[in-house]
Structure 1
Amino acid sequence: MTWEPLPVTEVARLFAAFEAPWWIAGGYAIELALERPVREHDDVDVLLLRRDHVAVQQVLEGWELWAADPPGTLRPWLSGQSLPTTVHDIWCRRGEGPWQLQLMIDESSAADWTSRRDPRLRRPIATLGALDARGIPYLAPEVQLFYKSQAPRSKDWTDFTAVLPVLTETQRHWLAAALPADHPWRPHLA
């Protein structure tokens, strides 16, 4: 499956009309936090909340949208269809061309984000991200690192090492508390 990710600025232009919260996620979120490139990327991720996932179809009208059903099956995401809580990823492309965008769906309740991996992890949606100098929303680096921490790959270590020096004490504390006691990143967060 071929990927040709949209540039982050084009993603921002595309989502400018989306009236719900959204954030650039993945490795690009780390780069937006740092305001500099860190590494090559295979795709571009956008995080949105499950409560808003059907509405995103209007933003991506005319695109092919495919739900990633665990354990790794892609199926068409039909117009107006609410996806089950087991589906967290949607692959998007224009026509039958290469994949250009991956949507990641996360949970929320009222004004709080809730981690789909650990429902005990919650925080106000208003604190889930930040804006870069151009006004592009990105996922807070500590939250992005939490998602990268489950089984860190080489690129996840690269992202962790790059952003670690700029994490605030509050961000380090949040991430350390979210990680298992024996996680290899915890000693670096002290």
Structure 2
Amino acid sequence: MTWEPASLSEVAELFSRVRTPWWVAGGYAIELAVGHAFREHADVDVLVLRRDQLAIQEALPDWEWWAADPPGTLRPWRPGELLPEGVDDVWCRPSASAPWRIQVMLDETLGDEWVSRRNPAVRRAVADLGGVSVAGIPYLAAEVQLLAKARGTRPKDEQDFAAALPVLDSLQRAWLANALQETYGEHHWLDRL
């Protein structure tokens, strides 16, 4: 399956039509938090709250949407279909002949709280879930993104952690340390926080 990730400016333009919260996620979220690019990316991720999932279909009605049913089978996401918990990723492209451009991730909420996919006991106010870059692009807070990257870390996750660590303030470090301990008990990043 061919990927040609949308640029961050294209993502911002396309998702400016979405009238609910959304955030650039994944490695690009770390780069936006750090303030500069430092590695290559195979895709671009956007986080949307599951409760707002239909807003993205409505904002980009001409795009193709494909749900990644566990354990990773792609199937068309029909207009108006509510994806259930457990179907957390959606691939999208402007047409059937176009390469995949954006991966949308769906996360849970309880009231006004975001609920971690890794551990439902780890929560955060939706209002505090991210920041906004100097270019006006919303991005998932680095410490929240690092929690998602902490399971089964790959070289790129280690690179993201190393790049983000100097820009995390004491509150962000404490939140990540607590979330890592609550989720994994032990984690090799804890010694550096």
TM-score (normalizing by structure 1): 0.97
Letter in 1 for 2:190: R
What is the aligned counterpart of 2:191 among 177, 182, 187? Answer: 187
Aligned to 1:178: 179
Q: Matches of 2:81 and 2:100 in 1, distance apart?
A: 21
Alignment of 1:1-190 (within 5 A): 1-96=1-96, 97-179=98-180, 180-189=184-193
* Aligned structure 1 segments of 4 or more residues deviating by more than 6 angstroms: none
Query: Over residues 52-106 of structure 1, what are the superposed CA-to-partner deviations in whole Å (9 max), with x where a residue is unaligned?
Result: 0012101121111000000010000000000010100000011121100000000
2:185 partner SS:
coil
Letter in 1 for 2:42: D
Q: Matches of 2:185 and 2:18 in 1, distance apart?
A: 39
**Unaligned 5+ runs, structure 1:** none
Query: Over residues 149-176 of structure 1, what are the superposed CA-to-partner deviations in whole Å (9 max), with x where a residue is unaligned?
Result: 0110000000000110110111111111
Which moved further from structure 2: 55-64 or 128-137?
55-64
Q: Matches of 2:152 and 2:20 in 1, distance apart?
A: 30
**Unaligned 5+ runs, structure 2:** none
Q: Matches of 2:66 and 2:4 in 1, distance apart?
A: 16
1:90 partner SS:
strand
Q: Matches of 2:71 and 2:174 in 1, distance apart?
A: 33
Q: Matches of 2:117 and 2:148 in 1, distance apart?
A: 10
2:74 partner SS:
strand
Q: Matches of 1:38 and 1:160 in 2, distance apart?
A: 12
Q: CA RMSD in A?
A: 0.8
TM-score (normalizing by structure 2): 0.96
Letter in 1 for 2:153: P
Q: Matches of 2:18 and 2:95 in 1, distance apart?
A: 21
**Count of residues in correspondence between the two structures:** 189
Cα offset, 1:111, TM superposition: 1.1
2:54 partner SS:
coil
Q: Matches of 1:126 and 1:86 in 2, distance apart?
A: 24
Q: Matches of 1:69 and 1:24 in 2, distance apart?
A: 22
Cα offset, 1:181, TM superposition: 2.9
1:107 partner SS:
strand
